[in-house]
């Protein structure tokens, strides 16, 4: 009986159709390949008779832009002459395919768009593409098919808005080239699994106190999910290859860089889990690896300020014996003004540096192993003139204040603000720029010099003033100064000037009328010149 049972079972012929699941769109490029020759010229869909197999669920489906149509219009995994392939597997049979698309799909970082880029290859002629999505998670009895008519740019771009990141969608692609069309096999995607984050930004680097380079950056804000990063760098030589590092945080220390070599560095990010699409690479930044690095490498300051500069030696330090700081290449900085911070770093503090003349270079500061040998690199210190001048007009209605503009060789972008407050009726005990009354701002207007107007004015009040200079990376504040508008009145020119020669003395008598304001005695000057070009003026003492 046992043998009979075995024979009976073995005599059955069971045919089982294995289910073919839709292709899940991966977070990396994949291919769609199709043979145009397999499509009959009059067959607009280009799909053969479906083979027997499990059928897909059927229900009415409507489009946003076209009349309702039946689910039978949606392709089945069994009914396409096209095939799909990825980096790890291929569903394509070994036959000639003359339409090949490299497809990359992702969801935008702000979750507003689902995108697919198509890169065609092969001779397909003028082809138009349509991408369609059907929400499988929707509880609607009549769900919508969302359609994108793809646009030809550098690549073919397909954009589908209003896609929910956590829903599951069926996806299919249609290629049309008269008189035939092809439809891809059915694909499936959960858009939230292939979100493409924004590229990192604001790459910055610094030299640590250990002499290494730390590179930092800012990831997407706010991050859509936990991220991991990838950094690549290469020296600026044609034969140099990219070195790639995987990083879990928003900074990394690069310890294998070569001295006196410049590197290009970029960063990108991806979801920390295995799912997700890499962002684009960030804008490149350049890192110059120097034997000695100064922080800051350039200083802009105002008179009476202190300046602190660090010098850091990369991977080596000459030792504290003989280490000197030089100002303007010849002047030794006193030893009590600098210290050795670590085996790689020294720090110096300077004060009361002279104002930098317009058009001239700044003060050159160098950190040298000894007084006879010094690296050619340096930090440059500009001390900008912040002298404020003011004058009250002859009608004593308005006070104009001005200052010398910053030379263009110092900084090309700057914004000046003159602030002030009033304190009593004298300038004794000036104090600081912290307002002891209501702080006001002098409105700025531009001409050849930076100037502003104070109006209305309080003629007898002491005005404590200072400049704020807003630069791209810092804000400078000058030392405060004090003046009283009545003390800086610029009278109108004398009127009614009359000149006559006395007889018989033959002397030149000059008379004039003084302006009625200011209401205090004035002294005048007289200048004269012979009628010649150019005029050579002679000035008499105050009259």
Output the pLDDT for position 459: 94
pTM for the whole structure: 0.62
Q: What is the pLDDT of residue 177?
A: 81
Q: Is the peptide bond before 478 cis (omega within 30 degrees of 0)?
A: no
Q: Which of 195, 198, 165, 167 is nearest to 276 (CA)?
A: 195
Assigned superfamily of 201-289: Immunoglobulins (2.60.40.10)
Shortest CA distance to 167 belongs to which of 111, 227, 103? Answer: 111
How large is the C-alpha radius of gyration of the chain?
40
CATH entry, 292-383, from 2.30.30.830, 2.60.40.10, 1.20.120.640, 1.20.1630.10: 2.60.40.10
DSSP percent split of the chain into helix, strand, coil, nearest 5: 5, 40, 55
Residue boundaries of the structural domains of the chain: 24-34+79-193, 201-289, 292-383, 388-428+437-487, 495-541
In this prediction, residues 205-233 reach a mean pLDDT of 88
Q: Which CATH code is given to the segment(s) 24-34+79-193?
A: 2.60.40.10
CA–CA dist 511, 507 (Å, integer): 13
Give pLDDT, residue 8.
Answer: 34
With 0-12 / 13-18 / 19 or more C-beta atoms within 10 angstroms meaning exposed / middle / buried, residue 450 is buried
The CATH number of domain 388-428+437-487, selected from 2.60.40.150, 2.60.200.30, 3.40.1160.10, 2.60.40.10: 2.60.40.10
Q: What is the DSSP string of 17-84?
A: ----PPEEPPSS-EEEEE-GGGS-TT-SS---PPPSSPPPP--EEEESSS--EEGGGS--TTS-S-EE
284-341 confidence digits (pLDDT tens): 999 888 888 898 989 999 998 999 999 988 866 665 567 889 999 889 999 999 998 8
Predicted local confidence at residue 284, as pLDDT = 93
% of the chain at pLDDT higher than 90: 38
Higher pLDDT among residues 408 and 295, named by residue: 295
Task: Evaluate whether 475 touches 486 at the Cβ level (below 8 Å).
Answer: no
Mean pLDDT of 206-234: 88
Q: Are the CB atoms for 116 and 131 separated by under 8 Å? A: yes
The end-to-end CA distance of the chain, in Å, is: 146
* Domains 24-34+79-193 and 201-289 belong to one CATH topology: yes
Strand 187-189 to strand 23-24: parallel, antiparallel, or no bridges (unpaired)?
A: parallel
Write out pLDDT tens, residues 530-539: 887 888 899 9
């Amino acid at each position: 009986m046992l043998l009979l049972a075995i024979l009976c079972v073995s005599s059955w012929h069971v045919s089982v159709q294995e289910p073919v699941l839709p292709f899940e769109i991966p977070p990396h490029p994949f291919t769609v390949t199709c043979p145009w020759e397999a499509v009959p010229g009059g067959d607009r869909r280009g799909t053969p008779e479906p083979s027997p197999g499990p059928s897909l669920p059927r229900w009415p489906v409507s489009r946003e832009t076209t009349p309702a149509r039946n689910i039978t219009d949606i392709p089945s995994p069994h009914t396409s002459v096209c095939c799909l392939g990825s980096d790890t597997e291929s569903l394509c049979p070994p036959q000639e395919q003359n339409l090949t698309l490299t497809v990359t799909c992702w969801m935008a970082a702000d979750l507003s768009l689902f995108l697919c880029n198509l890169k065609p290859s092969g001779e397909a002629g003028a082809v138009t593409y349509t991408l369609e999505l059907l929400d499988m998670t929707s509880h609607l009895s009549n769900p919508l098919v969302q359609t994108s008519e793809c646009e030809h740019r550098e690549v073919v771009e397909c954009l589908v808005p209003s896609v929910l990141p956590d829903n599951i969608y069926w996806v299919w692609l249609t290629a049309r080239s008269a008189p035939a069309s092809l439809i891809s096999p059915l694909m499936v995607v959960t858009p939230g699994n292939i979100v493409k984050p924004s590229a990192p930004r604001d790459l910055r680097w610094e030299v640590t106190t250990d002499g290494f380079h730390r590179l930092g950056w800012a990831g997407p804000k706010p991050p859509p999910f936990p991220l991991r990063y990838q950094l690549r760098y290469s020296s600026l030589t044609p034969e140099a290859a990219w070195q790639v590092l995987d990083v879990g945080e928003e900074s990394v220390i690069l310890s294998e860089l070569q001295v006196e070599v410049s590197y290009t560095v970029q960063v990108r990010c991806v979801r920390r889990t295995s799912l997700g699409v890499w962002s684009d690479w960030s804008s490149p930044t350049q890192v110059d690896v120097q034997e000695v690095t100064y922080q800051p490498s350039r200083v802009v300051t105002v008179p009476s300020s202190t300046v602190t500069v660090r010098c850091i030696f990369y991977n080596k330090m000459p030792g504290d014996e003989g280490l000197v700081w030089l100002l303007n290449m010849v002047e030794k900085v006193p030893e009590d003004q600098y210290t050795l911070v670590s085996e790689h770093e020294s720090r110096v503090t300077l004060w009361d540096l002279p104002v930098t003349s317009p058009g001239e270079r700044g003060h050159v500061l160098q950190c040298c192993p000894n007084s006879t040998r010094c690296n050619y690199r340096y930090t440059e210190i500009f001390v900008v003139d912040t002298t404020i001048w003011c004058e009250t007009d002859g009608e004593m209605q308005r006070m104009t204040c001005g200052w010398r503009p910053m030379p263009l060789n110092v900084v090309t972008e700057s914004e000046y603000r003159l602030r002030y407050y009033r304190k009593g009726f004298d300038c004794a005990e000036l104090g600081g720029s912290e307002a002891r009354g209501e702080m006001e701002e002098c409105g700025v207007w531009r001409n050849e010099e930076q100037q502003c107007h104070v109006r209305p004015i309080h003629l007898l009040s002491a005005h404590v003033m200072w400049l704020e200079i807003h630069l791209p990376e810092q804000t400078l504040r000058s030392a405060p100064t004090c003046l009283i508008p009545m003390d800086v009145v610029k009278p109108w020119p004398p009127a009614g000037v009359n000149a006559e020669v006395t007889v018989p003395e033959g002397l030149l008598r000059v008379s004039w009328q003084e302006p009625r304001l200011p209401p205090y005695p004035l002294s005048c000057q007289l200048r004269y010149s012979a009628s010649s070009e150019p005029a050579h003026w002679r000035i008499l003492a105050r009259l």
